[in-house]
Amino acid sequence: MKLGKFFRRAVEIGIASDPRGKARIEKMLKKEKDRQAKLTGVEKEIADEERTWNPFPDCRVINGSGEEDVKTFIVGIDMETQEVLLADRLREKGKKIDCVLIHHPEGRALADLEKIMPLQVDLLAGVGVPVNHSEAQLRPRMERVWRAIHADNLFRTERAAELLGFPALCCHTITDNLVWQLVEKDICKKNYDDLGEILTALLSIPEYKYYAKKGNPPIIVNGSRGGRPGKIVATEFTGGTNGPEEFLESQSRAGVGTILSMHVTEKTLEEAKKHNVNMIQCSHMASDAIGMNLLLDRMTKDEPKLETVDVSGFIRVKRK
């Protein structure tokens, strides 16, 4: 399969599971196309054409023309210069590696991370938070993320990949959407007497069980094993990065009882305590691995010979 085709297919898969919905996404892409068509001069030169068809600013090919044939992927949750060197070392020892597939964004996908965060407004609307509340709460947090990342050294990984001859791509929110959807359907929608039962249910997912066995299980960070869950949501799985802590109060008012998350900031935890919202922190790496596995399972339908070399937090689990 060609790299460009692989990525376009991944974008389609991400859209199909996106809390923003296909219609909203299409409208957004059309608006951006119209906006870019009117640009002139330097504004036209620096415009990102990708934004007219890919609604995931934190997902993109960071090295390669798209014409490369890719079958064997070295897959990791975080892939930086050291992992690209590892890929090169493995290749030198005879391992076939065509492409670097990364979860957490690098390069321009990282530079544009905050641009995916408005997805959180739609995510919260789905649990009953008015869009005007979440939008107002999100704005200052997006600005903080933008400023923080702006100062980073953003293009080291892609340069290493370029020098060592590896096509590379990032799939972040595409796969976070997939794991969000799975956790919503397989965990949140079921009935539990207490939080302990949710932990047990999470351990029926192979990636969580694998990480639990290694000492990194899902944990209750607010609430108790015997506590009643109330309405369970997975609002901390997709949307770029952690939302503002104000989201906790809004969700509490909207009737949320328990939030499942990949990671929880201390400020968010404080708010969860203040507003009596239970929080379960599922293993971060296991959660990200689930999303990547769901994507790879679907891609295998288009490329039956797809293979992976698993590194940096990723473990391949195949689902039917």
Q: Tokens 């972040």, residue?
A: 172
Residue whose CB is less far from Fe ion, 133 or 180 = 180
Question: Using CB under 5 A, which of the segments 17-25, 53-61, 176-184, 188-196 binds Fe ion?
Answer: 176-184
Question: Using CB under 5 A, which of the segments 12-20, 150-158, 174-182, 210-218 binds Fe ion?
Answer: 174-182
Residue whose CB is less far from Fe ion, 229 or 314 = 314
208: number of Cβ within 10 Å: 23
Closest distance to Fe ion from the beta carbon of 260 (Å)? 13
Give all strands of the β-sheet with 231-236 in edge-to-edge order: 219-222, 278-281, 256-261, 231-236
Cα 215-217-222 angle, rounded to 5 deg: 125
Residue whose CB is less far from Fe ion, 73 or 237 = 237
Closest distance to Fe ion from the beta carbon of 19 (Å)? 14
Interaction between residue 271 and Fe ion (CB under 5 A): no
- Sequence-distant (≥ 6) Cβ neighbours of residue 274 within 8 angstroms: 248, 249
Task: Give the x/- contact pattern for Fe ion in 118-157, rule: CB under 5 A.
Answer: ----------------------------------------
- Inter-residue contact 157 to 80 (CB < 8 Å): yes
Closest distance to Fe ion from the beta carbon of 53 (Å)? 22
Structural element, H or E, at residue 222:
strand 219-222
Q: Which two tokens stand for residue 208?
A: 């969580």
SS3 label, residue 184: helix
Residue 76 has phi, psi (to 5 degrees) of -150, 160
Interaction between residue 176 and Fe ion (CB under 5 A): yes
Under rule CB under 5 A, how many of the chain's residues touch Fe ion? 2
Task: Give the x/- contact pattern for Fe ion in 273-292, rule: CB under 5 A.
Answer: ---------------x----
Structural element, H or E, at residue 211:
helix 206-213
Integer Cα distance of 13 and 137 in angstroms: 29
Residue whose CB is less far from Fe ion, 55 or 257 = 55
Q: Which of 169, 10, 176 is nearest to 79 (CA)?
A: 169
Closest distance to Fe ion from the beta carbon of 89 (Å)? 25
Task: Give the x/- contact pattern for Fe ion in 231-270, rule: CB under 5 A.
Answer: ----------------------------------------
Closest distance to Fe ion from the beta carbon of 280 (Å)? 16
Site residues, Fe ion (CB under 5 A):
176, 288
